[in-house]
Amino acid sequence: MSNQEPKETFIGIDVSKDQLDVCVHLHDNRQSFDNTEKGISSLITFLRPLKPTLVVLEATGGLEMAVASALAADQQPVAIVNPRQIRDFAKATGKLAKTDNIDSGIIAHFGAAIRPEARPLKGPEAQALDALNSRRRQIVEMLTMEKNRLSSATKWTRTDIESHIAWLEKRLKMVNTDISQSIKKSPVWKAKDEIFQSVKGVGPITSLALLTSLPELGVLNRKQISALAGLAPMNRDSGKFRGKRTIFGGRAELRAVLYMSALVASKHNPVIKEFYQRLVKAGKSKKLALTACARKLLTILNVMVRNGTKWQDPVIKNA
């Protein structure tokens, strides 16, 4: 009887709009399936006998969600990974030139070497709220572009741009209403939303971003939650050289929202304001001080969600 450990199986899936390219790591086994309901069903039938240790997909702007949700529903261990991580890994292993594309083989190799954690996916309601938030962000971006065009528009195009702005503002109002109703329908989301917005500096937009982009809030410790949001300072040391600590990675859109909240809080929230002024007096740049405020604000919110409590100055000061 063999004492060999059973071999682990890592699967990489390269997702495109029309196709799912699949690679089984260390096996000469590559398959392609249509990115349709029927194709995804065939993919799951193909994977079941393999009993994958991990199935890895790139985050591709939402194209991956249908197959990822189906795999998760089939109890397959799924990890959705930031494309930059896979590209950096491929470069480090000499498998990617500047103009090359990531393929399923590289993704499978990444899964076997790095072993990203398989996490449960958002449920249908959370995915719907996330989609509404993304749509809201798209409409805001379009509004900004059209308003910028309006400032230099000629008389021949001004009327058309103004009409489009009016239409976009109407759509934005409708999406905001849908978002508000979705939050109110969920007791959990409603409770968290009330906790978030009890903090001066945190408004509906930041609250929505936290609900959709940081479900781990209240579960992880302060260092872990800061790293997820990309607010944990990273060392840049080499030998005797000691570089400035910087923040990078994490969930960039969430980080941007938290930075703006910190800017408001540094003026109107007594705890954050005091913290900000102390850092500036100590010689920190305003940008660095605001980043630290964003991190502190996130730490406070993490404690509040964990304890299920709203803002209370005496309790929060030592968070």
Q: Domain coordinates of the chain in residue numbers? A: 10-114, 123-185, 187-319
pLDDT at 224 over 60: yes
Say what the pLDDT of residue 240 is. Answer: 45
State residue 316's pLDDT score.
56
Predicted pLDDT of residue 99: 61
Read off the tokens for 245: 């600590």
pLDDT at 1: 42
Give the model's confidence band at 238: pLDDT under 50 very low, under 70 low, under 90 confident, else very high. Answer: very low
Q: What's the confidence (pLDDT) of residue 55?
A: 96
Number of Cβ within 10 Å of residue 306's Cβ equals: 13
User: Stretch 31-50: mean pLDDT, rounded?
Assistant: 95
Q: Please give the average per-residue pLDDT across 3-27, as a whole number.
A: 86
Which residues have CB under 8 Å from 32's CB, separation 6+?
Answer: 19, 20, 21, 22
The answer to whether residues 113 and 81 touch, using CB atoms and an 8 Å cutoff, is: no
Structure tokens at 294: 């964003």
**Model-level pTM?**
0.67
The answer to which of 24-33, 92-101, 295-304 has the lowest mean pLDDT is 92-101
Tally: H helices and E strands in the chain: 13, 7
Q: Residue 209 in contact with residue 133, Cβ under 8 Å?
A: yes
Residue 299 CA: distances (Å) to CA of 63, 64, 206, 269, 292: 32, 31, 15, 15, 10
Query: What class, spelled out in words, does domain 10-114 have in CATH?
Result: alpha beta
Residues near 35 by Cβ (< 8 Å), separated by ≥ 6? 15, 16, 17, 18, 19, 20, 63, 66, 67
Mean pLDDT score, 221-231: 86
> What is d(CA 42, CA 33) in angstroms, rounded to the nearest whole number?
7
